[in-house]
Structure 1
Amino acid sequence: MSDAVPLYLMRHGAPVLTGRLLGRTDSAATEPGVAACVGQAEGLEVAAILSSDLQRASACAAAIAGRAVATDARWRELDFGAWDGLAAADVDAGALGLFWDDPDANPPPGGERWSALTARVAAAVAEVVAPTLVVTHGGAMRAALAGLCGFGQRELWAFDLPYASVLALKIWREPTPTAQIVGLW
């Protein structure tokens, strides 16, 4: 078995728009949200910092690094299609319930299937070769857990991933990509 590579996945800081289904909607992070991310990153030893290309993640990553960082759209949140930017209360409760039960079979209208999210996140994870911090979104973090650890949908929703939380993983590449959770704070 090859050596493990540390991967830290951080959820972006609190966005200006809260209580909404924010997928492709590019809401900025609040100043306290950015500061929370900077505080959470203290002491992490990484060779690279990158982020989703959405500003609520990229601004936090830039503040952590003290400079602009590479962005990668594969680390974006799930695209909620017609629901993007709406409060959950403004979405048909039945349709939303079906989505939460099975987001691959019941994607949002015009939105992304869960399998598409997990595929793009898996492709991004495959490129991690050194200790890396990725500032991303809750859905992308759960997609990484699904692909690397084999968690099912109900298990994934059980993970509490508040804004600025960090999920620490060790990734082994061989014989197939797998990971161990080493921390969540």
Structure 2
Amino acid sequence: MQTFALIKRSNIYVKTNGIEIKIPDAIKTSGPNKFQPLLFLPWFKDKEKFCAATTTIDYLHQTKNLQGAKEYLFISFKKPHQKVTTQTLSRWTKEILAKSGINTQEFTAHSTRHASTSAAFKNNINIETIRRTAGWAKVSMTFAKFYNKPIIKKDSFTMGVIT
């Protein structure tokens, strides 16, 4: 959530194949020989309802004239629309997880980092790409130790018994 809270509008670049978001500020994982996060949101033109890049562009347009929206991407609902904290982003994420049917007693906003990196690895994304995206150094064992978790499927037991 710290990384998302630091996204500045000036570091969002619209490209032909998607949106690139740079995070040059120091974050928890910053340091010598460590990658700064570089987020990339590809266009999903055939599924615009699910396209994070399209949603980001729409959000930028909807909030561009708000008083506090001059620097940071994520701003509060209430005037003067200032930058939100990591706690607010965590709360918003947890609310979305709950509305999506995720058990928020078991999974937190930070679980999204575990789930996304584990899903990427399961879908044969190169470990170096995962490290760079997460901001981990080449020699980092963080993913292997803490993040490469099995993905829980609600129907896995049932499907295992039936098939």
TM-score, with normalisation over the residues of structure 1? 0.27
Structure with larger Rg: 2
Query: Which structure's residues are more often helix, by fraction?
Result: 2
Query: Which structure's residues are more often strand, by fraction?
Result: 1
Q: Which has the higher contact order (CA 8 A, sep 6+)?
A: 1
